Chains A and B, each alone.
Chain A
């Protein structure tokens, strides 16, 4: 008797429950469909699509449109995080890459991609000769500037990490402006400097590289110790430092010295465009190059090469200053006027640089040293 009751009722309940559940899940997945319209995986099965993995602040949509028109492929762009995050994702997915090509790995992490054999060497035809030196070659090649050697990583743009200061603040206090790395450790500039944690920010790591280049592997830690003893403050990210702490950062900051970029003074220009309120110290700069490349195992290697070609073409290079605040790797592009006036490029003798391979080899040790010596 219990059975005759149980069965129809149970069946009825299940009959209503199951479709409801099914519909809900179907809806749930279908709901994502419009958002997933860019999902071509790694261009799987379709030779006309090509996917580019980029860092977070990249003009995804405009690029996809322009690159599709220029290359004849259907280009889609996926964002995979900044600096180390992008690099490590590419390393972890080696063999089954999430895209065909990538852009946005900088000097600090470049060698990690080469050492882990994540990239397929390729030499785009369009890269201006004067910028070929910036390219990173595959490990086995001797480093000769032979025009037939393919690049492991192709440079797409470059900028400099430099100490920025607020000249008006120093004028007001009747203090001379600091000029060099060493000035920052002087007592008159006590408690005025904001640095970036090199373990958390690639801009911070770039500044660290500059100090290693300047003071050597044996001397950089003492320099950092002197900075800390002089009241330097360490922030986790560029925005916390620049927008949060710097007197010209647009917030309520109180520190007139900050680690930022060589191009930053171009963005603190007064409304009439006549003057800027900040200044980069050109002797404290280190170069930061952003690279692109073809991923090993790409589903569409020809498409990936076409996208890398497009990245170094004058058409794309012309958009770099305005959209990414970096300098292009071609001399054809006319820089915005404010850049020419307020954001001069440091000369080669002023730059404090190290080869990318040395950075990869030394970085962990340097950070360990800093951690032990100054508790960073």
Chain B
């Protein structure tokens, strides 16, 4: 009966069709077509299909070294991120202390910091003259893993934390009353309940780590290269499109496997857990929380603060090592020989404008996608189509920025017969950034929509509300609450985006991350220092955007009370 009613209005059908086709068309045009075109180029020789690259590339020891490195780095970094992220989730989302919400906001910053900045920061800490140079970790697997954890501890803390915050722990208390130790109660009761959230976070982190580019290139060098940096080397240095295409397919396979496994883990671990409205489960820290607090403090101080502060300190010294603001002055009034077009202020302004457009595109498409994915269609075919759609949206996270950049170059010459050469147009920059931000937006909005009690929609429908009325009166108001956060994330991610932007052909102006990268690698005296200062400015602007976004996030207790206590089956995702 419900299904019949949903399809009843032709306008509703038209609206849903639009909600599906608009994002699909965007992804097909600006993502699938370019990427498939470039990969296809690698498999065509003299107009014929040529698969000889596959055995050749997989026959090389270097390929297996790179694949091995990718898997090792991603697995170890995921383990470390989860190990440090769970204590952080507990402290930030279960304990009540002054400054908790500010700290929650601050903890999201590392994730959106540009890789150029973090790479430089870690080199500054571990490299010659850095505070931890004596550890000899500078060119090592450990350095790469720790830097990857820098970004991803925050992903785990947030994903697991927001779920944990609403977890009803009375079962755990009951276990303790019946004699289980707190550790045992945690392991046997709480941990299984957190399972889906942990699986979801771990899969996301694994995905990010296995396709990481900038940080691995800077810190890993050739020895610790991963598939992503190897594709870069093959495409950019050797024009070995055949080899790059084979590695891209290997990367596809890896990403697809991660997405499938994570979906399985999520649904296997999904169970009816009792969730409470946000904020009910908080308690004051006690003495027995000291070990967890210590781990959390060490994470913040050593993993996050140390690299950022070292970078900031470096940016405040001139070439002779004296304290000075000369680097910042040079950013505002750049000497003629700097590789900057205009001052850094114009780069910030341009970056903000482009990031705003990118965030807007990502939001419009992300809201449509989240609405489509949040429905629970009755037919199995529709559900399968839905999960394919979901995977397609996540795919930009798992495809090399080089492949996308060069693919756009191949396909955007008057695409679809439009008389405009998009390849050299600045319009391509926000489009590429939106592709990167889109999965984040969907992952933030989707849990909110899926968390809406199905009974609420059902009740509204039974009372005679048309599907679009349900959408307007139930979905959209709830969506609005996390829209601010999603917008902030999209904006910050676009602002710091370096990989995809740097591989586009850019007319004139530079975005801030590109300007920083060019300053750092320029020979002009003072350019390196100014680049460090630019990195600090970039970090501050992105951090500011994130903090404002956190503010925009209206307390979710209202949502909790409306959607009643039963959140059975709600998914633990962003």
Q: What residues make up the interface of A, taking CB atoms closer than 8 Å to B? A: 2-3, 5-7, 9-11, 13-14, 17-18, 21, 24-25, 27-29, 31-32, 34-39, 41-42, 44, 51, 53, 56-61, 64, 76-81, 84-85, 87-89, 91-93, 96, 98-99, 112, 197, 199-200, 234-240, 242-245, 249-255, 261, 263-264, 267-268, 322-323, 325, 364, 371, 375-376
Contact = CB atoms under 8 A, between A and B. Distances in A.
B354 A35 contact: yes
Contact of B233 (A81, A199, A235): A199
A4 to B, nearest CB: 10
B337 A323 contact: yes
B507 A38 contact: yes
B528 interface: yes
Interface in B498-514: 502-503, 505-510
Given A11-B11, A376-B222, A254 B466 contact: no
B169 interface: no
Given A38-B507, A244-B123, A5 B464 contact: yes
B336 A323 contact: yes
Interface in B373-430: 406, 409-410, 413, 419-421, 423-427, 429-430
What 9 A-B pairs have minimum CB-CB distances, sorted nearest first? A252-B129, A41-B421, A10-B11, A38-B507, A57-B339, A35-B426, A239-B521, A6-B466, A31-B357
Interface string B220-241: 0111000000000101111100
Contact of A92 (B22, B127, B409): B409
A24 B368 CA distance: 13
A254 B464 CA distance: 76
A96 B413 contact: yes
B508 A21 contact: no
A197 B425 CA distance: 33
B354 to A, nearest CB: 7
25 contacts: A6-B468, A7-B9, A9-B466, A9-B468, A13-B468, A14-B15, A31-B430, A32-B354, A32-B427, A35-B508, A38-B508, A39-B426, A42-B421, A44-B419, A57-B518, A57-B522, A59-B336, A78-B506, A81-B236, A81-B503, A98-B409, A199-B238, A239-B521, A252-B127, A325-B523
A263 B218 CA distance: 25
B420 A41 contact: yes
A32 B239 contact: no
Contact of A237 (B337, B521, B529): B521
B345 interface: no
B364 A56 contact: no
B342 interface: yes
A24 B360 contact: yes
B44 to A, nearest CB: 13
A81 B357 contact: no
Given A24-B364, A31-B353, A200-B237, 9 more contacts: A9-B469, A10-B9, A11-B11, A61-B341, A84-B236, A89-B409, A99-B424, A236-B217, A239-B521
A29 B422 CA distance: 12
Interface residues of B, number: 81
B15 A17 contact: yes
A89 B504 CA distance: 10
B205 to A, nearest CB: 25
Interface string B518-531: 10111111101100
Nearest to B368: A21
A209 B569 CA distance: 63
A20 to B, nearest CB: 9
